[in-house]
Amino acid sequence: MARDIQLKERWDILVEKLSAQFADGDTLELDAIIYLVGVQELGKYHRSYKKNEKLDLMHIAICRLLEPYGFYAFDYFDEDGWPHYTIKEELPSLKAGEQSVLMKEAIVTYFVDNEYIS
């Protein structure tokens, strides 16, 4: 129970901080935060992305976020600098709420590890 409370508190702090920095105070949704992680991982901040590239960025983020859980492993950077991952273990079947909690936990851990929040 205490872990859930800490996750919620950290999530709220993270959303508030990212929303202020990237959305002029509008509240960012989970997908938008995943997209930001993808941009961070790619490292190409000041450019526009096409729709398919945005989906690729979200895929990069999901792979990176779930890597510590053993689901993905970094493989290589391609000639354009995009990271590629391999699947190590299939994701378990999760209900939508369980998926959301897993992703929020992974995102909070990512930003704590990168010292964006504590």
**Residue 76: predicted pLDDT:** 97
Is this structure's pTM higher than 0.85? yes
> Residue 11: inside a domain, yes or no?
no
Tally the domains of the chain. Answer: 1
Beta strands of the chain (E only): which ranges?
Answer: 72-77, 83-87
CA 5 to chain centre: 20
Q: Is the pLDDT of residue 22 over 70?
A: yes
3-state secondary structure of 46: coil
Q: List own/partner pairs for 109-114 with CB under 8 A and 24 or more apart.
A: 109/68, 110/37, 110/64, 110/65, 111/14, 112/10
Report angle CA 111, 23, 20 to the nearest 5 degrees: 60
Question: Is 62 within the bounds of a domain?
Answer: yes
As a whole number of Å, the end-to-end CA separation of the chain is: 19
In a domain, 86, yes or no: yes
Would you say residue 6 lies in a domain? no
**Residue 108 included in any domain:** yes
With bands split at pLDDT 50, 70 and 90, how would you rate the model's confidence at 33?
very high
Within-domain flag for 20? no
Range of the domain at 84: 29-113
Q: What is the mean pLDDT of residues 23-39?
A: 95
Q: Is residue 81 included in any domain, yes or no?
A: yes
In a domain, 109, yes or no: yes
Residue whose structure tokens are 């959303």:
15
